[in-house]
Amino acid sequence: MPVRTRRAAAALASAAAMALFTAACTGSGAGGASDDPKARTTLTFWHGWSAPGEVKAIEANVRSFEKKFPHIRVNIVKNITDDKLNQALRAGGSNAPDVVSSFTTDNVGRFCTTGALADLKPFLEKSKIDPATTFLPQMAKYTEHDGKRCAVPLLGDAYGLYYNKKAFAEAGITAPPKTLSEFDAVAKKLTKTKGDSYEQLGFMPNFQGYETTFEHYATQFGVQYFDADGKSNLARDPAAKALFTWQKNLAAQLGGFRKLEKFRTGLGDEWGPKHPFHTGQVAMQLDGEWRGKMAKDAGLPFEIGAAPLPVPDDQAGEYGKGYLSGTILGIANTSKKQNAAWELVKYLSTDTDAVVSFANAIHNVPSTVAALNSPKLNSDPLYRTFVKIAQHPKSAHAPSSVNGGAFLLTAQDLGVRHEAGREPDLDAGLRKADAQVDKDNEQAR
């Protein structure tokens, strides 16, 4: 999903919008599951895709649905931001959507607790669909909150490590690293300085680098964000401190925060052909399954490889895991056509051919077990690396929260301050982060 905005600024805007949404939402919709799903009707479906190929792919799936259910027509509205989606879910009305998709996986907790999206349990039970066995378990987990399922996954993203095979060969590196100590050594070996900058950087570890966020690193370390009572757990979790410590130490080995940050600000656009991994300025890149297709489309003059992101040395047995996220799909609680809406949600999210064709078209990871095992699924070796990462039992998304992704932004902000030297006492910073997260969560309830 290369056109998705994954940067922290966008996440912050989404969190702010959701805060307003929480305050205004009543948690009860004007609709209900009383409509006749066999009656002739028209549904409105809002989604966030905007790139021509992606829009074409989702529209093709919807038109296939209409052929299977000729009494249901679907009005498709593309390029919907979460801000607009949240406003519509709150307001309802004749122009509001019946079915919605969102790229902001972190907002599932908010969607479920506010009642913005309908509870899908009755629909799933009626259709005899068990989310735990139908969907990849790790993806089924991030589409519910506190036992309430208000969404289902519609394709997913898995994160791993891309590497420049030419740079590896020139440095005498024969295989991608599996542990962080190996990774640090490889990143340092691949780094070629040029004055006060770099001819080639082994890896950009900075928290403001492309995809190198706290959340994306955290799965490798096994960070436990909350304790059994739902309180923020960063200061008490050795994995969180180990993550921050490792990141800052690697930055120091590669030239230090200021030198890296100066280099980072001059790099090309994340979603354009001048991405620093494409240009050879960065030899290893943490990224999702879409990067392989983007690299191919950019016509790189070197071969690339993909592997899971390395893990801490004391977790070597869990190598192969990675961070997961993905699109979520749900029914607006204000919709008066929820039974018909469910037919569309069920088709898009569980029909094997529909899921596989969509995954192949936009180069994402399928979200159902049947689609993952389909012989029709893209067999490209780079892509398959991310399919395997998604299936690893320890691959995961951050836990859902009543406050959406605000707790992740707090951790991310701590990382930015710590690496820049503005938060020299990490233990104190972790305690402050816990206090902030707990305060934010309490206010959101």
Q: Which of 279-283, 348-352, 404-408 has the lowest mean pLDDT?
A: 404-408
Angle at 417 between CA 415 and CA 423, to 5 degrees: 105
Q: CATH classification of 8-157+325-391 is 3.40.190.10, yes or no?
A: yes
Spatial neighbors of 436 by CB under 8 A, at least 6 apart, are: 410
In eight-state DSSP terms, residue 332 is: B
Please, what is the average pLDDT of the chain? Answer: 92
**6, pLDDT greater than 60:** no
Cα–Cα distance for residue pair 306/160, rounded to 1 Å = 7
**12, pLDDT greater than 80:** no
User: How many Cα atoms occupy the beta-carbon half-sphere of 166 within 13 Å?
Assistant: 11
Cα–Cα distance for residue pair 375/266, rounded to 1 Å = 43
pLDDT in tens, 243-292: 999 999 999 999 999 999 999 999 999 999 999 999 999 999 999 999 99
**31, pLDDT greater than 50:** no
Cα–Cα distance for residue pair 74/78, rounded to 1 Å = 12
- Across-strand partners of 365? 156
User: How many Cα atoms occupy the beta-carbon half-sphere of 123 within 13 Å?
Assistant: 27
pLDDT in tens, 129-187: 999 999 999 999 999 999 999 999 999 999 999 999 999 999 999 999 999 999 999 99
Cα–Cα distance for residue pair 173/45, rounded to 1 Å = 49
Spatial neighbors of 1 by CB under 8 A, at least 6 apart, are: 49, 54, 103, 155, 157, 288, 290, 327, 362, 364
Nearest to 11 by CA among 106, 149, 80: 106
> What pLDDT shows up at residue 391?
96
Cα–Cα distance for residue pair 192/79, rounded to 1 Å = 41
Burial class of residue 422 in the structure, from the number of CB atoms within 10 Å of its CB (0-12 exposed, 13-18 middle, 19+ buried):
exposed
> What pLDDT shows up at residue 294?
93
Indicate the CATH number for domain 159-318. Answer: 3.40.190.10
Q: Which of 18-27, 87-96, 245-254 has the lowest mean pLDDT?
A: 18-27
> What pLDDT shows up at residue 193?
95
Q: What is the mean pLDDT of residues 380-396?
A: 97
Asked if 393 and 231 count as a contact pair (C-beta separation under 8 A), the reply is no
pLDDT band at residue 32 under the 50/70/90 scheme: low
How far is C-alpha 361 from the geometric centre of its chain's CA atoms?
18
Strand pairing category for 41-46 and 99-102: parallel
Write out the residue limits of the CATH 3.40.190.10 domain(s) in the chain: 8-157+325-391, 159-318
Count, residues in the chain = 445
In eight-state DSSP terms, residue 399 is: P
Structure tokens at 14: 């989404």
Q: What is the mean pLDDT of residues 340-366?
A: 97
Asked if 410 and 440 count as a contact pair (C-beta separation under 8 A), the reply is yes
Cα–Cα distance for residue pair 146/317, rounded to 1 Å = 30
Share of the chain above pLDDT 70, in %: 93
